[in-house]
Structure 1
Amino acid sequence: MQRVKNFTVNAFHYGSPPDDKHNLRLRLILLLTGLTCMIDGVFLAIVNMLYNKYYLLLFFVFVTLFGATTLYLSFKKVTRTCLFIIAHILLFILIVASLADKTTGDAFHSEFNYLIVLTVGASLVFRQEKIYLRIVFPLICFVSFLFLMMSGITFSHSELNLPKSFERSLYIFNMSFYSLILLLTTFVYRSDYSSQALLRKDLQAAINDNMLEIYYQPQVNKHREIIGVESLLRWKHRQRGYISPDVFIPIAEKYGMMITLGWWVMENSMKQISNWHHVPKLKDAVVSVNISPLQLLEVSFKNKVCELISRYQIPAGKLKFEITESTLIYDYNKIRDIILELNTYGIKWSIDDFGSGYSSLKLLLDIPVDDVKIDKSLIMSLEKSDSNIILIKTIIDLCKELGITPLAEGVENEVQYSILKDMGCEIFQGFHFSKPLPKKSLEAFLEHNL
């Protein structure tokens, strides 16, 4: 008994949890199924009503109601049990419709062709299920198709047969409709409806249409004076509003858009440096731009940077590139040479997220780093962790010994600011001073607060 129970559990429960892509495709298949049953049911109910075939009329009214129910469920969260019931009712409907499709020789059977659509659809929809729905049910559908096609068996009672005078029209309708549904079913499962894929298309469109924005987060000294800003990419989706960088940056990395985004941010940041030359409180601010490893290792990286510096007339010391310490893992010698060469053009360099992982002290000796950004994960637990205080103090002291400016990232309150200032930290960035702001809001903020 226990073995039977275990088999039932294994055979009828999910083989793996359905993902967002699978759920969306399932909804589309249910939508297609509901519409098909409603159209076919209404059409054949009217035909059988005109020919006084009342048993078949009732049957196709049932088909129509089933279609309407399935259509409704396509907008709801469908349970596995509900899906199981829908599949078997649909199989029952198609077998009964095929048995009612009796021909006289002037046309061919056509209703059983829908069993092929059900076989294909079930194979696609249930591929994340266990053995029964994934293999056995599609096999039942296909065997039913073969049996009905080869045997030609139908109901013998004339009241249970579709109207003879309507056979040819029904054949044309069914074959056309069947082909369309099979095509749409295949199309649904060939298309990528994952949230990431949909966002990728929207992100590419945003890049092409210049719909991205740069926000600037101030960096202040111990006197709370703004000495620089960090350029941060923001994306306001037309329907979904602002999309978090934690969501769209991994998508850009996955689909190879980081280099394009990197150059877009760099060029627009340089353009802003030129525009701020006439803004008194920002004309001396250093603008920091994040550089991805892929962008940094581009063959033409140095030449492109120099061309942009020349085009926008960027003064030495006004532009800073931020790289994470993990970037140096990729090709340390090549990256070091790039940094050394661009340093001669007056570009400053910052090591971002220092203390979060790689943290090789050797890079602070070999590379002309202007500042080190202490990772915000260390800052967040500053008040609760003595070990973090010791680690941060060590980083700050080491930076000072090497002539590097320590910068605390992610400062959220006055307590953190006071502790860090007492440790000797020189530059601060975080929501305690200002959240990232668009260009005009930053200028207004400076006008009223500093």
Structure 2
Amino acid sequence: MKPKENYSNRFRLTYGLAALAVGVTASGWGIAFAIMGAWPLVAMDVAVVFVAFLSLVLARRNQLSAALLFSQSAFLVIITTLCLIFDVPREAAPRVSHLFLLVLALLGYINYRREQSRPQLAIVALCVIAFVVFASTTAAPSFAQPIPETFQIYGSWVNTIVAVGLLCIGVYVMQLELARDLDKARAIKAALRNREFELFYQPQVDETGRLTGAEALLRWRRGDGTHVPPAEFIPAAEQAGLMPAIGEWVLTQACETLAAWRHDPATSGLKLAINVSADHFMKLDFVETVLDCLRTLEIDPALLKLELTESMMANDIDAISEKMRDLRTAGLFISLDDFGTGYSSLSHLRRLPVQEIKIDRSFVQDIVENRRNRVLLKSIFDMAHMLEFVVVAEGVETLEQLRLLRSFDCTAFQGYYFGRPVPLGEFQTRWTNDPVAPAALSA
């Protein structure tokens, strides 16, 4: 499932207005250059209008991330071409087109804060480098076709005003976005203090439908009773650096649950899985913290399952592998979550001491309709069995999906077909009385 883009409505509106302003300005210059017959310049303005229009279309379709990367890349090429060929500095009028590179760099930085990526970082760096080069030199290639001096004089004023105006708007938006992030971070810290977070438990079952464990999923219930979706507060917590603190709380709650389960024969052998963020896992004392919690509550380490996402593998793979080995040596169960959607490779599976891979729900959801997906999943299961991995199919919602997964010799399942995430008390009441999912019996 595609993650929801993390942009505020204010940011979307401002981006749309900026694209509209650039498009209108370029249209005006295009008409002026068409009247004087400067067709190469008209072509440049048409390109600017086209990029602005397409960016608006993408933004209206809630594809703002794609719109941002596209517009930045296209405008970087267009502005560089303008500066090299047309906007050649004279004594009467300086070059000004390069000022828009600062606008692109600022826009890119705002976007990078929302969704960090190497392409975005590269665009920001190229914009800054190009600005420095054009601001520091008056050289022009021999094939340059300078704008007529009269137009360049007036254009330097107009374009400078537009560029500075866009920069001011960008700074204002960035200030608002930073304030928005700060407000979210404060709310999350307050939620930790006020015990507004809670764990919901979703059952994990074997091929017969018998309960084998659960996954603990973080939920946030505000003081007024409203729920905040994890897709909203978890990205904000990651950006604010709060995931280690939240992870410590989840670890403690999970260990306390396992300690309570130990005294009931119906739950004493159940495994409990928790998700571990990259920031939390990479803390220097992570291994010691986990082991101390288990020792303090006298919990069998084999009952605690740590689910690590594939995206974590973009970090130091050697350090990650070493920590995994330490945890596995201590007896913990290590699972690779969201398998097939991140940075997985056969070399990672060979190097990492994982015992389980968890198939991402996006593969399971269309397994019935999509033949290619079925072939791919069958290959994953065959490979996992040869490497002696346990495979958990996540997101099982229908009987047809369950039957196909069983035909691949899948023996571990999780999804709405067996049970939704529920509070601890409800989970224990349901599964302690009957450890077999009724839905599975009809399969």
1:254 aligns with 2:239: yes
Report the aligned-residue RMSD. 3.4
1:326 aligns with 2:311: yes
2:387 aligns to what? 402
1:351 aligns with 2:336: yes
1:184 aligns to what? none
Counterpart Cα distance in 1 of 2:301 and 2:177: 47
1:138 aligns to what? none
The runs of 4+ residues in structure 1 deviating greater than 6 Å are 189-193
Distance change (3 Å), C-alpha of 1:390 and 1:191: closer
- Which of these residues, 263, 288, 298, is aligned with residue 283 of structure 2? 298
1:425 aligns with 2:410: yes
TM-superposed CA distance for 1:448, in Å, is 4.6
- Which of these residues, 186, 191, 215, is aligned with residue 201 of structure 1? 186
Deviations 1:291-312 (A, max 9, x none): 1111111111111112111111
TM-superposed CA distance for 1:411, in Å, is 0.6
Counterpart Cα distance in 2 of 1:399 and 1:190: 48
Summarize the alignment of residues 45-444 of structure 1 with structure 2, pairs less than 5 Å apart: 196-239=181-224, 241-444=226-429
Deviations 1:305-352 (A, max 9, x none): 121111111113111111112212201111111111111111010010
Counterpart Cα distance in 1 of 2:283 and 2:187: 26
What SS does the aligned partner of 2:219 have? Answer: strand
Counterpart Cα distance in 1 of 2:225 and 2:205: 33
Counterpart Cα distance in 2 of 1:195 and 1:228: 38
Q: Is the 8 A contact 2:338 2:359 kept in 1?
A: yes
What SS does the aligned partner of 1:223 have? Answer: coil
What SS does the aligned partner of 2:376 have? Answer: helix
TM-superposed CA distance for 1:366, in Å, is 2.4
Match for 1:238: what amino acid?
G
Match for 1:311: what amino acid?
T
Deviations 1:186-225 (A, max 9, x none): xxx9787965443332211001222210111110000001
Counterpart Cα distance in 2 of 1:449 and 1:285: 14
Counterpart Cα distance in 2 of 1:403 and 1:300: 30
Query: Which residues of structure 1 form unaligned runs of 5+?
Result: 8-13, 19-129, 136-188
Counterpart Cα distance in 2 of 1:193 and 1:327: 26
Q: Is the 8 A contact 2:200 2:217 kept in 1?
A: yes
Distance change (3 Å), C-alpha of 1:202 and 1:417: same
TM-superposed CA distance for 1:365, in Å, is 2.3
Distance change (3 Å), C-alpha of 1:207 and 1:390: same
Distance change (3 Å), C-alpha of 1:196 and 1:219: same
Counterpart Cα distance in 1 of 2:180 and 2:270: 39
TM-superposed CA distance for 1:383, in Å, is 1.1
TM-superposed CA distance for 1:414, in Å, is 1.0
Counterpart Cα distance in 1 of 2:432 and 2:286: 36
Match for 1:201: what amino acid?
R
Match for 2:281: what amino acid?
L
What SS does the aligned partner of 1:307 have? Answer: helix
Counterpart Cα distance in 2 of 1:342 and 1:316: 9
Distance change (3 Å), C-alpha of 1:195 and 1:449: farther
Counterpart Cα distance in 2 of 1:281 and 1:251: 38
Counterpart Cα distance in 1 of 2:301 and 2:285: 21
TM-superposed CA distance for 1:261, in Å, is 0.7
TM-superposed CA distance for 1:364, in Å, is 2.2
Summarize the alignment of residues 10-49 of structure 1 with structure 2, pairs less than 5 Å apart: none
Match for 1:266: what amino acid?
L
Counterpart Cα distance in 2 of 1:409 and 1:393: 15
Distance change (3 Å), C-alpha of 1:389 and 1:238: same
What SS does the aligned partner of 1:278 have? Answer: coil
Counterpart Cα distance in 2 of 1:334 and 1:217: 31
Counterpart Cα distance in 2 of 1:337 and 1:219: 28
Match for 1:422: what amino acid?
S
Distance change (3 Å), C-alpha of 1:193 and 1:316: closer
Counterpart Cα distance in 2 of 1:192 and 1:358: 30
Counterpart Cα distance in 1 of 2:339 and 2:333: 16
2:21 aligns to what? none
What SS does the aligned partner of 2:274 have? Answer: strand
Counterpart Cα distance in 2 of 1:199 and 1:241: 16
Q: Is the 8 A contact 2:294 2:301 kept in 1?
A: no
Match for 1:377: what amino acid?
S
Query: Which residues of structure 2 form unaligned runs of 5+?
Result: 1-23, 30-51, 60-160, 167-173, 436-443
TM-superposed CA distance for 1:426, in Å, is 0.9
TM-superposed CA distance for 1:367, in Å, is 2.5
TM-superposed CA distance for 1:280, in Å, is 2.6
Match for 2:417: what amino acid?
H
Counterpart Cα distance in 2 of 1:231 and 1:443: 13
Counterpart Cα distance in 2 of 1:358 and 1:408: 19
Distance change (3 Å), C-alpha of 1:339 and 1:236: same
The TM-score with structure 1 as length reference comes to 0.58
TM-superposed CA distance for 1:287, in Å, is 0.7
Counterpart Cα distance in 2 of 1:326 and 1:198: 27
Deviations 1:41-97 (A, max 9, x none): xxxxxxxxxxxxxxxxxxxxxxxxxxxxxxxxxxxxxxxxxxxxxxxxxxxxxxxxx
What SS does the aligned partner of 2:302 have? Answer: coil
